[in-house]
Structure 1
Amino acid sequence: MTLPVAMSGTDVIGQAKTGTGKTLGFGLPLIDRVTVPADVEAGRARPDQLTDAPQALVVVPTRELCTQVTNDLLTAGKVRNVRVLAIYGGRAYEPQVDALRKGVDVVVGTPGRLLDLAGQKKLDLSHIRTLVLDEADEMLDLGFLPDVEKIINMLPAKRQTMLFSATMPGAVIGLARRYMTQPTHIRATAPDDEGATVANIKQHVYRAHSMDKPEMVARILQARGRGLAMIFCRTKRTAADIAEQLERRGFASGAVHGDLGQGAREQALRAFRNGKVDVLVCTDVAARGIDVEGVTHVINYQSPEDEKTYLHRVGRTGRAGAHGTAITLVDWDDIPRWQLINKALELDFHDPVETYSTSPHLFAELDIPEGTKGVLPRGERTRAGLDAEELEDLGEPGGRKPRGRRREDERPERTERAEHTRTPRQRRRTRGGTPLDEAAAGAVTPQAPAAEAVMDGEEAPAERRTPRRRRRTRAGAAPTTDAVAAQAPEAVAQPQPEAVEAVATAEGHAPEAEARPRRRTRKTAEAVATVEAPVAEAPAAEAPVTEAKPRRRTRKAAEAVETAEGAATIEGQAPEAEAKPRRRTRKAAEAVETAEGAATAEGSSPEADAEAKPRRRTRKTAVAVVAADAPAEAVEAPEAAAPRRRTRKAAEIVAVPEQAAEAKPRRRRTVRATATADA
């Protein structure tokens, strides 16, 4: 009915049931109207009518249908040598672009890739003379309509337009007339075929529980005379799960759904056509137009969305005059939806029978042998399976590998590449640009020169300091003791620096100068005033005297210098200064033995020679050297030490004349350097 009208160049709307040959209904007119070199040789066309640009365009909704229509047109146009090219997503661009450059006559494609290549000026649509929308109701739906309108706007205004589908609602026909010119609507049905479905398809509808459906499907697939079977699910996750369960039960199954890569989808469909897989679990992407010979059973694992989807699912069996069986499992929640489908298609299954995997009527109606279980016996597992079909690398865009089952030869390569590209983490562990090994080796060494520089009255150079040494070690204080002992070997070492202050106070000398401590330094080396003249030659000379600045943020007050206070009290004088030791130091600063030894040997007041206090983890360092120069009569009142700030406890020790000699400062830590000096 369609061929005479379509070959005359008139617009056609073709509607017929599934499996009645709609592909050749529009394919043969396309092949006949295309101008090929054979027409020029036979004198039916002029040489200027030949072109390498496409002359006919067929737009389909799914990739699987695109490949099927392309193969049908290649078979029909083999005699005339018609060049047909399939253009769809999920494949590499380069082979399709190269084929377009060489020249094609008919292009079959999906809307997305067609628009992509046309936008890149790789696909020339200006010579299209015939446009075909296969599965027109799906193409003119809300999902594809914007893309289809863009494609139509790129085509010449003078062309032939044909629409074909098994379901053609009135709204779709009204919409299609906007793009057509006086179309002829052809609806073909057999005289003895009533209803919406083919009469050769036997339909069964059961109300089943979702937890019992896998067992029911496994037993239905063991029915007598069962050939290839297709199982339709509503969601991609369900399709993948059912395919995996059937494989564990012993069936050769494959899956086709949108989450798989194009290579895996084509592998499963190719294995199904070749007979290596006899059960294909898929979503509605395979419900339209897929024609596989030998499909005897179609199972709707979940109820379809509407009556159109039901017709296309069921139409995968009973094609080209063959017989088939359609089984629909309706869950309790899907009963209202199924009743709407049943009413629209005028079927006799308004209230499906409640059925389980052990129901006797299930075995009787579907011809299932008695005693069949949900696992396929090992003797009947004769199919090669999905792994026997080669997985083709289609060069999917974006550098993705085909998803789904992976070949064994790919896994070692991916593992080896991951080992070589691994980056070690230890390369980022540096301190000040220096690796940790070198920094740890030279952490203690730079401290000794810094201590010697302080003893000579010089400030330690900045480059000798180890940056940000946070650990508490005792190696930093040892060189200082050795340096002091080397300078004055004949001096008598004193355990505490307070003896110098005591002698100075006893002879009536007062402090005159105050050293300013340095702030915000890690290690501070203060210059110590040098003795200008001996005490015996110039007893009245004044030497710079420093007063220790109290440190802030100490928990307990520094120990008072009881020795100096006791000596001053016995002679009727008051202590001038009260030294406050530093907090959180492991070793107290060593006394300057050189000045103390000179004062003891000559019996005179020593001038402060040098006092080095190696500091660590402190911000301010107070180095006090008291020299006795002023007469005792000039001192009338003791000078109190500067009050400390932000202390938790104030420890003030008032020296009593009777207990001054016996008072001893509190020792919080054992000073190893002091014990060495006493020895």
Structure 2
Amino acid sequence: METVFPLTTFSDLGLSQKVLSAVTDAGYTNPTPIQAGAIPPALKHRDILGIAQTGTGKTASFVLPMLTLLEKGRARARMPRTLILEPTRELAAQVAENFEKYGKNHKLNIALLIGGVSFDEQDRKLERGADVLICTPGRLLDHCERGKLLMTGVEILVIDEADRMLDMGFIPDIERIAKLIPFTRQTLFFSATMPPEIQKLADRFLQNPERIEVAPPSSTAKTVTQRIVATHDKDYEKRAVLRDLIRAQTDLKNAIIFCNRKLDVADLFRSLSRHGFSVGALHGDMDQSSRTKMLAGFKDNQITLLVASDVAARGLDIPDVSHVFNFDVPIHAEDYVHRIGRTGRAGRSGAAFTLVNRRDTKYLDAIEKLIGQKIEWLNGDLTELPPPAESYESARPKRERGGRRERDRDRGRRSDGARPDAEKAESPKADSHRHDMKSLDNPVLDETNAKADTVKAERKAQPRGQNTARSANRPAPAPAPANDDHRDRRNRYRRDQDDGPTPVGFGDDIPAFMLIAGKA
């Protein structure tokens, strides 16, 4: 059930003066509902279970009280005082930025442990002592296995985007990490959605938590206008619909375009680039420096469109994204909530468009069931789609059409459905020896063929078992088996042309062109 909090200011929440000064400098005066509900019990060392829409300020809900609690005491080498687990590198880096912004009046050591960065640089930060350790689960366990971390000094554990942790398979890693941390720790647990699996996980990690729920689970922001766009199944048709949809948006400032697969991200990025759009790409296979550079370019408005996988769907705080386009309908309904949560943040208005074909209807039904509302169609539903363009296939290059088998099948049929091979088989002339050298108007080949006919007649008249002069220096070849008629017919022509000295290395099968006499 949604918790209602009275309108208050940050100064009423019990934060330290250093934190309040940094918040004021950042331009904030009133906390969001999740911040107003989570900060006071967190300052009292209570466990927190926070459920709120994405884009409502969950990060500050744990950053601000942690800064206040960390003002007392210092960290020792390789023994961090607090631990924050994030599902992706981008989210971890974003949390680190929040600590730098709100903790500018504190002298805290912040260590960021993510993949794609040198272990040596991270080890140096750990040796100085980390008050705040922000990391992805995999890299944290790597450091622990290398003996570079001792987790017995952790006072506060934060598990952010818990439902995403479940989707990405991090739950076993989190369970391992939890065993390394003292049982007396304080745990802050945040998520935008709360499926039953996450609820069970929260019950295992939290001790008598304060439940802060400021919006119905899996709800979407009312400031986001949602529409569904009908499209055909083919990818090139979806890309054409997307381009027309982008051009039709008069108020588009920038946009994130989500795809389900990394391969689709690369294909769509190349397509939009060819059509003159300012576009970048972001997916999990990119190295960390490229991902950071691409995300910075999008935040600085150097790139208008960002084609991304779900690595950009969770928690990334890009405040002024005007549009979100779902090129693919997300397979998991919860991902839809996170994707469209990239727009309409902090009370701003936004628009989200989802391309849907006939194969996506079951995923669309799951999304509408999850969010508890029907999403309107933009220009008619799937039943009102015009027929697909028939001329496109003929205009496409052969290499872009179907596979090799399909091309061979198309070449093997005429427009009336009959196969050209059947016509050839019915013609006695076509059924004759297609490689008959006598049919060629070439005197050299005619002379060679005459010699071949003479040799063939002599071989037929020769008694069986008698060797010719040509084969006197080598044993006679073994006779072909009775069931090897196909091989005998295949090689008969080449053997019949063999009326001269045997070239070294060719054996019995001598190409006919080797027997053509050269010009004097």
TM-score range, shorter chain: 0.5 to 0.7
Inter-partner Cα distance in structure 1 for 2:117 and 2:177:
21
Per the TM alignment, residue 296 of structure 1 is displaced from its structure 2 partner at its CA by 0.3
Corresponding position: 1:198 with 2:198 = no
Corresponding position: 1:25 with 2:61 = yes
Please name the residue that 1:245 is paired with. 271
Please name the residue that 2:143 is paired with. 117
- 1:299–1:327: 8 Å Cα contact kept in structure 2? yes
Alignment: residue pair count: 357
Per the TM alignment, residue 140 of structure 1 is displaced from its structure 2 partner at its CA by 3.9
Please name the residue that 1:277 is paired with. 303
Inter-partner Cα distance in structure 1 for 2:178 and 2:367:
33
Please name the residue that 2:87 is paired with. 61
Inter-partner Cα distance in structure 2 for 1:194 and 1:304:
18
Among 306, 316, 319, the residue aligned to 2:345: 319
Once the two structures are superposed, residues 609-648 of structure 1 have per-residue CA deviations (whole angstroms, 9 ceiling, x without a partner) of: xxxxxxxxxxxxxxxxxxxxxxxxxxxxxxxxxxxxx999
Inter-partner Cα distance in structure 1 for 2:242 and 2:168:
34
Once the two structures are superposed, residues 298-348 of structure 1 have per-residue CA deviations (whole angstroms, 9 ceiling, x without a partner) of: 000011112210000000000011110000111111112211221221222
Provide the secondary structure at the position in 2 that maps to 1:51. coil
Inter-partner Cα distance in structure 1 for 2:369 and 2:162:
24
Provide the secondary structure at the position in 1 that maps to 2:255. strand
Corresponding position: 1:207 with 2:233 = no
- 1:74–1:83: 8 Å Cα contact kept in structure 2? no
Counterparts of residues 577-596 of structure 1 (less than 5 Å): none
Per the TM alignment, residue 154 of structure 1 is displaced from its structure 2 partner at its CA by 0.7
Corresponding position: 1:227 with 2:227 = no
- 1:111–1:148: 8 Å Cα contact kept in structure 2? yes
- 1:13–1:184: 8 Å Cα contact kept in structure 2? yes
Per the TM alignment, residue 157 of structure 1 is displaced from its structure 2 partner at its CA by 1.4
Inter-partner Cα distance in structure 2 for 1:26 and 1:102:
24
Once the two structures are superposed, residues 103-154 of structure 1 have per-residue CA deviations (whole angstroms, 9 ceiling, x without a partner) of: 2210111011000001111122111000000001222457111111111111
Counterparts of residues 512-551 of structure 1 (less than 5 Å): none
Does the C-alpha gap of structure 1 residues 93 and 142 become closer, same or farther in structure 2, counting only changes over 3 Å? closer
Unaligned runs of 5+ in 2: 1-36, 387-465, 478-520
Please name the residue that 2:193 is paired with. 167
Inter-partner Cα distance in structure 1 for 2:218 and 2:167:
24
Per the TM alignment, residue 584 of structure 1 is displaced from its structure 2 partner at its CA by 5.5
- 1:231–1:280: 8 Å Cα contact kept in structure 2? yes
Unaligned runs of 5+ in 1: 40-44, 361-554, 557-582, 586-645, 649-679
Counterparts of residues 463-482 of structure 1 (less than 5 Å): none
Inter-partner Cα distance in structure 1 for 2:199 and 2:171:
13
- 1:74–1:82: 8 Å Cα contact kept in structure 2? no
Inter-partner Cα distance in structure 2 for 1:152 and 1:88:
18
Give the number of the structure with larger relative contact order, counting CA–CA contacts within 8 Å between residues 6 or more apart.
2
Inter-partner Cα distance in structure 2 for 1:161 and 1:647:
89
Once the two structures are superposed, residues 623-679 of structure 1 have per-residue CA deviations (whole angstroms, 9 ceiling, x without a partner) of: xxxxxxxxxxxxxxxxxxxxxxx999xxxxxxxxxxxxxxxxxxxxxxxxxxxxxxx
Please name the residue that 1:264 is paired with. 290
Identity %: 36
Counterparts of residues 62-77 of structure 1 (less than 5 Å): 62-77=88-103
Q: Which amino acid aligns with 1:76?
A: Y
Once the two structures are superposed, residues 465-493 of structure 1 have per-residue CA deviations (whole angstroms, 9 ceiling, x without a partner) of: xxxxxxxxxxxxxxxxxxxxxxxxxxxxx
Please name the residue that 1:80 is paired with. 106
Among 126, 149, 153, the residue aligned to 2:175: 149
Counterparts of residues 594-613 of structure 1 (less than 5 Å): none
Does the C-alpha gap of structure 1 residues 226 and 127 become closer, same or farther in structure 2, counting only changes over 3 Å? same
Inter-partner Cα distance in structure 1 for 2:227 and 2:315:
22
Inter-partner Cα distance in structure 2 for 1:228 and 1:263:
22
Inter-partner Cα distance in structure 2 for 1:23 and 1:194:
18
Per the TM alignment, residue 285 of structure 1 is displaced from its structure 2 partner at its CA by 0.9
Once the two structures are superposed, residues 529-556 of structure 1 have per-residue CA deviations (whole angstroms, 9 ceiling, x without a partner) of: xxxxxxxxxxxxxxxxxxxxxxxxxx98
Per the normalisation by structure 1, the TM-score is 0.50
Provide the secondary structure at the position in 1 that maps to 2:322. strand
Inter-partner Cα distance in structure 2 for 1:195 and 1:155:
31
Among 307, 312, 327, the residue aligned to 1:301: 327
Per the TM alignment, residue 350 of structure 1 is displaced from its structure 2 partner at its CA by 7.8
Once the two structures are superposed, residues 1-25 of structure 1 have per-residue CA deviations (whole angstroms, 9 ceiling, x without a partner) of: 1110011001110011111100010
Please name the residue that 1:461 is paired with. none
Once the two structures are superposed, residues 235-276 of structure 1 have per-residue CA deviations (whole angstroms, 9 ceiling, x without a partner) of: 111111111111111111111112222222222111111111
Please name the residue that 1:188 is paired with. 214
Among 42, 58, 70, the residue aligned to 1:34: 70
Inter-partner Cα distance in structure 2 for 1:195 and 1:126:
35
